[in-house]
């Protein structure tokens, strides 16, 4: 069943077109990733989907309700965790949960029950009376997620949820998200951590207001970065760039910090690449790697604007 | 050969907290060295000690053999801090000019470097735009440009790609790669595990201590990503 | 050029750029001094001019009429109303229709023709010290103009020094504040001024804080509405403000012996309306500016200046030039200062201050509605 159906969504601010004719669908229980540069229209699209911003034209049906005509109904069925950790640091965890529960219209005994359930769902046992501002980032994010789940929404939207969170907590957070999705909640995520986007079932990529790519991570890699990819490491790897670029089997050579990413056709193998490189020229290691979503992103967004 | 940067058993405390508990790292000329670790690991503290902004409570830091708090060391050092690197209400050009003056860059050298840096960072069409109106990636690139005006031999960067879009992130790292190929020593701190692979060598920092040093591929050997390797190392310490 | 000089000049040049680019600095350095000089220059007038004075003629002869014409000929005082008896003049004083009243005693004309000294009583509203002082200071001039002498009435606190032997005498009586203590007439104004400043600042920070922190965005994604947020934020500060009112009145009463001669419910209702108006003003500023620092500055400025200069706190509103006088009509502190003086010192009642209450209510409604309306538009 499709919980989110976006049809030709469009939003302008004066003459500026922030979101241009975006359409896609999300299945129930799917983890859907949203990628794009800052200003590409991700945040505006999300705001429209959760009913916080009316579209200029087009519509989206979220959990059965139209964002253009019934935004309040949509809001009641979406849990939103915004980017900027917007819990109140001078309140305790319990107080924050109570406040947001109230803001979503959950009161009294129902609220108490939900708080208990949510605390176990996101693993906040024993922390209810701690001051939110004094919690480490990873735990605070779980509180934010908990607050968004209090009204048991069928859809949860996470806007850059793991910014500034340490790797361990990030892993736990994604485990939580996967459990949520498995239980039937649809999850929309936007992130700059392209390696996290690999956790998503499908990923949509926005460039300048348009949805230019939509597929599974593997599918995106196959479409946009076909062939094979190799990493060349060494103190003087950069010196090999001109000779590599000269080879016709090589599609592209991208400097990757101090290393190189070399893209070739399907037929080239590791030994062949090794043979091209002069070992004395300070090349320490060559290995084959899988193209990442960052490579996809760069291929899609191109040399873009600064 | 004097290393560009030598951190020797560095200790730094803040009240009751030990931010750095005896960290030792050496960065050579032309080396791109990554300081990788989660929030609170001590990365910013380490970089600030290297830049001479903080005094060590124990151990020492040497920049080309000198104390980083001296003017001699500072002349060869460039810093790109995590925040507040630039003046938001000043334009790109005004920021560049200010830092040029501050570092006493001679006028013809300034003109040359300014042109080259604007070209490298692709900021040439935006010289009159106020820094606060630049996108995140552009802002960071400008901060980098300002740190490079005096052609430092050692560059210190504190989480330069935080919150930056993927395209600008790639560009920043490409710039760093080119700098290093030209002989500059670079120390970069980052919370992103996947950026470790872009360095010549990395040190894994957690809770003020270095848990592993070496080639990123060596450290990640056997794990499916550097991040998995990091978690494995941290678990082993616990 | 040495490195040192170069760096100093670089810092200076940068600072100039900062100042030029920050409109607040320009305002502070240029706009505000000019504005303040103009306002103070025009607005602050301690001299007697066009002040309304009532006339009570208990004698009812043509002589009294002649005397009246002589006294009012200069135009410094203006005839507010003619009263048949003293009680009417008192009512005029309480309702602020007059700031003083001449009382011609019965049998005055007769005494005059017989060559006996005549004592003309001048009742002065002591609840406004500036006015009272001005009237007293000019009583001598008025008297001289009417070939009389001026002296305080026997038994009142001012003992005249060097009074001539007059044919007639103007005896001044200071009503409502017989000992002429500054605290008496300053405190009601201070209460209004302090409440204005505090309430605007409290709420000015309230919403700007949420904008800056980013939590506003989170609120918008929930089902809570704009008006709900506005009222929800206003209520606790209203209660806090009411508590402040009680606190300040208590301190006034216990430390300065501030009297409370009027109706407590009147002061209560007026204070609530005044607070709502000022809290609403702070909220409006908060919604519009979105930055705590700007909200604080704008809040302080918009609360302090009008409450200080245009409210009748330090000098009478009637003395302001026309444009500023009309401007004072939309300053809630103006209504509240008059009402507090009346209720606390003069014992005036609801009927004396219906216009003030109306003004306060109008302002309160205006700011709350404006806040809710602006807020909704800011959502998108």
Mean pLDDT of chain B: 91
Contacts 24+ apart (CB under 8 A), C247-256: C248/C191, C248/C194, C248/C195, C249/C191, C252/C183, C252/C187, C252/C191, C256/C181, C256/C183, C256/C184, C256/C187
* Collapsed DSSP state (helix, strand, coil) of residue A164: coil
With H, G, I as helix, E, B as strand and everything else as coil, classify residue C347.
Answer: coil
Which helix (H) or strand (E) segment holds residue A101: the answer is helix A93-103
Looking at residue C346, the DSSP 8-state letter turns out to be I
Kind and range of the H or E element at C309? helix C292-309
Predicted pLDDT at A84: 65
Distance (Å, rounded) from C-alpha B152 to C-alpha B64? 12
Residues of A in contact with B215 (CB under 8 A): 233, 284-285
And the tokens for C343?
A: 């209720």
pLDDT (mean) for B2-23: 93
Would an 8 Å CB–CB cutoff place A297 in contact with chain B?
yes
Q: Tell whether A76 lies on the interface with C, counting CB pairs under 8 A.
A: yes
**What confidence tens digit (pLDDT) does each residue in A75-126 have?**
889 998 887 657 888 899 999 999 988 888 888 899 999 999 999 988 899 8
How many pairs of residues across A and C have Cβ atoms under 8 Å apart? 40
* C-beta of residue B105 within 8 angstroms of C-beta of residue B149: yes
Pairing of strands A186-190, A31-36: parallel
Residue A31 phi, psi dihedral angles, 5° rounding = -100, 110
Asked if the Cβ–Cβ distance from C17 to B94 is below 8 Å, we say yes
Report d(CA B170, CA B161) in Å as an integer: 9
In this prediction, residue A162 carries a pLDDT of: 79
Residues of chain C with CATH 3.40.1710.10: 51-162
Q: Is B102 on the interface with C (CB under 8 A)?
A: yes
CB contact under 8 A, A294 and B170: yes
Cβ partners under 8 Å of residue A87, min gap 6: A96, A132, A140, A143, A144, A147, C215
Which one of C218, C379, C380 would you mutate to disrupt binding with A, by most A Cβ within 10 Å of its Cβ?
Answer: C218
Number of H helices, E strands in chain C: 15, 6
- In the CATH scheme, what is the homologous superfamily, with its name and number, of domain C51-162? abc type-2 transporter like domain (3.40.1710.10)
Distance from C-alpha of A294 to C-alpha of A221, rounded to nearest angstrom: 10
Which pLDDT value is given to residue C159?
31
A84/B contact by beta carbon, under 8 A: no
Judging contacts by C-beta atoms under 8 Å, the chain B residues touching residue A233 are 200, 215, 217
**pLDDT value of residue C233:** 84
Name every chain B residue with its beta carbon within 8 A of the beta carbon of C19: none
Beta strand A202-207 with A31-36 is parallel
Quickly list DSSP for chain B.
---SEEEEEEEEEETTEEEEEEEEEEE-TT-EEEEE--TTSSHHHHHHHHTTSS--SEEEEEETTB-TTSHHHHHTEEEE-SS--S-TTSBHHHHHHHHHHHTT--HHHHHHHHHHHHHHTT-GGGTTSBGGGS-HHHHHHHHHHHHHTT--SEEEEESTTTT--HHHHHHHHHHHHHHHHTT-EEEEEES-GGGGGGSSEEEEEETTEEEEEE-HHHHTTTSSSHHHHHHHHHHHH-
Is the Cβ–Cβ distance between A197 and A5 less than 8 Å? no
| Residue position matching structure tokens 């079932």 | A201
**Of residues C310 and A11, more confidently modeled:** A11
Residues of B in contact with C7 (CB under 8 A): 101-102, 104
pLDDT at B21: 95
Tell which residue, A144, A147, A149, has the closest CA to residue A160.
A144
Map out the domains of chain B with their CATH numbers. Answer: 1-76+152-238 (3.40.50.300), 79-148 (no CATH)
Choose the mutation target among A82, A147, A164 for the interface with C, i.e. most C CBs under 10 Å: A82
Query: How far from chain centre, in Å, is Cα A121?
Result: 22
Q: pLDDT in tens for each of the 380 residues of chain C? A: 788 899 899 999 998 888 888 877 777 778 878 887 887 777 666 665 677 888 888 888 877 788 788 778 777 788 888 888 888 888 888 888 888 888 888 887 777 777 777 778 888 888 877 777 777 777 767 766 666 655 565 543 233 332 334 456 677 777 777 776 777 778 888 888 888 888 888 888 887 887 777 777 677 667 777 778 888 888 999 998 899 888 988 988 898 888 888 888 999 999 999 999 999 999 888 888 877 888 888 888 888 888 888 888 877 777 777 788 888 888 899 899 989 988 888 888 888 889 899 999 999 999 988 888 887 665 54
User: Of all residues in chain A, what percent are helix, strand and coil, respectively (each to 5)?
Assistant: 35, 30, 35
- Nearest by CB to B101, from C7, C17, C18: name it: C7
Instruction: Answer whether C338's CB lies under 8 Å from C352's CB.
Output: no
- Is the separation of the CB atoms in C235 and C323 below 8 Å? no
- Residue C199, classed as helix, strand or coil, is helix
Which H or E run contains C55?
strand C51-57
A88 touches C: beta carbon within 8 Å: yes
* Burial environment of residue C336 by CB neighbours within 10 A (0 to 12, 13 to 18, 19 or more): buried
Task: Name chain C contacts of B102, Cβ cutoff 8 Å.
Answer: 7, 10
What three-state secondary structure class fits C3? helix
**Nearest C-alpha of chain B: how many angstroms from A295?**
9
- Rounded Cα gap, residues A49 and A67, in angstroms: 6
**Residue the block writes with tokens 């001289």:** C144
DSSP string, B112-153: HHHHHHHHHTT-GGGTTSBGGGS-HHHHHHHHHHHHHTT--S
Instruction: Determine the pLDDT at residue B154.
Output: 96
Kindly tell me if the per-residue pLDDT of A280 is higher than 70: no
Residues of chain B with Cβ-Cβ distance to A287 below 8 Å are 217
Residue among B134, B130, B108, B110 nearest B121 (CA): B134
Amino acid C324: pLDDT: 80
A50 vs C: CB within 8 A: yes
- Residues of C within 8 A of B90 (CB-CB) are 14, 17-18, 21
Predicted confidence at residue A7, as pLDDT, reads 93
In the numeric block, which tokens belong to residue C189? Answer: 């104004």
Residues pairing with B63 in the sheet:
B5, B66
Q: Which residues pair with C150 in a beta bridge?
A: C170
Are the beta carbons of A214 and A24 closer than 8 angstroms? Answer: yes
Chain B residue whose CA is closest to A163 = B163
Distance CA B113, CA B96 (A): 10
pLDDT in tens, B174-221: 999 999 999 999 999 998 888 888 999 999 999 999 999 999 988 988
pTM as predicted: 0.75
Cβ distance of B163 and A255 shorter than 8 Å: no
Q: Which residues pair with A57 in a beta bridge?
A: A10
Measured CB to CB, residues of chain C less than 8 Å from chain A are 213-215, 217-224, 379-380
Which of B87, B94, B104 is opposite residue C6, by nearest beta carbon?
B104
pLDDT single digits (tens) B47-69:
999 999 999 999 999 999 999 99
User: Cα B193 from chain centroid?
Assistant: 16
Query: Is B89's Cβ below 8 Å from some Cβ in C?
Result: yes
pLDDT value of residue C146 = 65
Here the ipTM equals 0.81
Question: Please, which chains are in contact with B (at least 3 CB pairs closer than 8 A)?
Answer: A, C
Q: Is residue A50 very low, low, confident or very high in pLDDT (cuts 50, 70, 90)?
A: confident
Cβ-based neighbours of B148, under 8 Å, separated by 6 or more = B78, B113, B117, B155, B179
Alpha-carbon distance of A162 to A141, in angstroms, equals: 8
Cα–Cα distance between A134 and C121 in angstroms, integer? 72
Instruction: Please tell me which chains touch A, using 3 or more CB pairs under 8 Å as the contact test.
Output: B, C
Q: Determine, for residues C14 and B98 on separate chains, whether the beta-carbon distance falls below 8 Å.
A: yes
């Amino acid at each position: 069943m499709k919980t989110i159906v976006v049809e030709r969504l469009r939003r302008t601010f004066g003459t500026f077109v922030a979101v241009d004719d975006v359409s896609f669908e999300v299945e129930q229980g799917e983890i859907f990733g949203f990628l794009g540069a800052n200003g590409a229209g991700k945040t505006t699209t999300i705001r429209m989907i959760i009913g916080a911003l009316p579209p200029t034209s087009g519509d989206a049906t979220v959990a059965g309700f139209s964002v253009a005509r019934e935004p309040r109904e949509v809001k009641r069925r979406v849990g939103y965790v915004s980017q900027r950790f917007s819990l109140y640091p001078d309140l305790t965890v319990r107080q924050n949960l109570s406040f947001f529960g109230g803001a979503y219209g959950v009161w009294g005994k129902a609220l108490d029950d939900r708080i208990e359930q949510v605390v176990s769902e996101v693993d906040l046992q024993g922390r209810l009376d701690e001051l939110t501002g004094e919690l480490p980032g990873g735990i605070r994010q779980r509180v934010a997620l908990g607050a968004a789940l209090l009204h048991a929404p069928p859809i949860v939207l996470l806007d850059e949820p793991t910014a500034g969170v340490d790797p361990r907590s990030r892993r736990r957070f994604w485990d939580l998200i996967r459990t949520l999705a498995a239980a039937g909640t649809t999850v929309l995520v936007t992130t700059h951590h392209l390696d996290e986007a690999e956790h998503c079932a499908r990923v949509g990529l926005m460039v300048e207001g348009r949805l230019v790519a939509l597929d599974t991570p593997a599918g995106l890699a196959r479409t946009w970065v076909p062939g094979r990819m190799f990493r060349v490491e060494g103190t003087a790897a950069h010196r090999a760039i001109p000779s590599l670029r000269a080879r016709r089997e090589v599609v592209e050579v991208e400097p990757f910090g101090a290393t190189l990413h070399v893209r070739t056709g399907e037929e080239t193998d590791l030994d062949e690449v090794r043979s091209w490189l002069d070992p004395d020229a300070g090349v320490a290691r060559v290995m084959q790697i899988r193209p990442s979503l960052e490579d996809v992103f760069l291929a899609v967004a191109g040399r873009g604007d600064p | 050969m004097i290393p560009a940067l030598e951190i020797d058993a560095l200790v730094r405390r803040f009240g009751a907290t030990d931010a750095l508990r005896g960290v030792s790292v050496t960065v050579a000329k032309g080396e791109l060295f990554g300081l990788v670790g989660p929030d609170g690991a001590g990365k910013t503290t380490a970089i600030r000690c290297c830049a001479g902004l903080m005094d060590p409570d124990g151990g020492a830091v040497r920049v080309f053999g000198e104390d980083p708090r001296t003017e001699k060391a500072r002349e060869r050092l460039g810093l790109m801090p995590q925040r507040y690197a630039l003046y938001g209400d000043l334009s790109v050009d005004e920021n560049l000019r200010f830092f040029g003056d501050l570092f006493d860059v001679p006028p013809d050298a300034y003109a040359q470097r300014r042109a080259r840096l604007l070209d490298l960072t692709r900021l040439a069409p935006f010289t009159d735009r106020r820094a606060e109106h630049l996108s995140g990636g552009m802002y960071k690139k400008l901060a980098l440009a300002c740190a490079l005006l005096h052609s430092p031999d050692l560059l210190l960067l504190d989480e330069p790609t935080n919150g930056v879009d993927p395209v600008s992130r790639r560009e920043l790292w490409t710039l760093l790669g080119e700098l290093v190929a030209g002989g500059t020593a670079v120390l970069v701190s980052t919370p992103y595990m996947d950026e470790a692979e872009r360095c010549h060598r990395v040190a894994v920092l957690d809770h003020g201590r270095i848990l592993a040093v070496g080639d990123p591929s060596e450290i990640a050997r056997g794990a499916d990503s550097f991040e998995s390797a990091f978690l494995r190392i941290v678990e082993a310490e616990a | 050029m040495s490195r040192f000089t170069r760096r100093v000049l670089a810092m200076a040049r940068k600072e100039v750029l900062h100042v030029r680019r920050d409109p607040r600095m320009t305002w502070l350095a240029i706009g505000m001094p000019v504005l303040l000089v103009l306002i103070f220059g025009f607005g602050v007038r301690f001299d007697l001019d066009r002040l309304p004075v009532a006339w009570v003629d208990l004698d009812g002869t043509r002589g009294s009429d002649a005397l009246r014409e002589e006294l009012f000929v200069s135009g410094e005082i203006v005839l507010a109303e003619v009263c048949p008896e003293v009680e009417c003049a008192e009512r005029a004083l309480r309702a602020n229709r007059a700031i003083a009243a001449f009382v011609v005693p019965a049998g005055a004309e007769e005494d005059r023709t017989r060559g006996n000294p005549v004592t003309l009583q001048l009742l002065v509203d002591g609840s406004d010290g500036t006015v009272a002082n001005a009237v007293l200071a000019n009583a001598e001039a008025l008297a001289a103009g009417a070939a009389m002498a001026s002296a305080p009435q026997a038994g009142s606190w001012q003992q005249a020094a060097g009074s001539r032997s007059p044919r007639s005498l103007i005896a001044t009586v200071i009503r409502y504040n017989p000992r002429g203590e500054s605290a008496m007439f300053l405190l009601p104004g201070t209460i209004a001024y302090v409440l204005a400043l505090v309430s605007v600042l409290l709420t000015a920070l309230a919403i700007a804080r949420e904008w800056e922190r980013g939590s506003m965005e989170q609120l918008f994604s929930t089902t809570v509405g704009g008006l709900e947020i506005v009222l929800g934020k206003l209520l606790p500060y209203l209660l806090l403000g009411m508590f402040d009112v009680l606190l300040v009145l208590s301190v006034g009463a216990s430390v300065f012996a501030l009297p409370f001669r009027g109706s407590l419910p009147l002061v209560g209702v007026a204070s609530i309306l005044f607070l709502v108006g000022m809290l609403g003003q702070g909220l409006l500023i908060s919604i519009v500016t979105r930055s705590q620092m700007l909200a604080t500055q704008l809040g302080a400025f918009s609360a302090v200046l009008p409450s200080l200069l245009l409210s009748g706190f330090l000098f009478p509103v009637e003395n302001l030039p026309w444009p500023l006088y009309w401007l004072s009509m939309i300053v809630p502190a103006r209504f509240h200062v008059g009402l507090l003086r009346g209720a606390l010192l003069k014992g005036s009642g609801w009927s004396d201050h219906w216009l003030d209450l109306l003004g306060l209510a109008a302002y309160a409604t205006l700011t709350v509605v404006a806040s809710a309306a602006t807020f909704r538009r800011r959502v998108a």
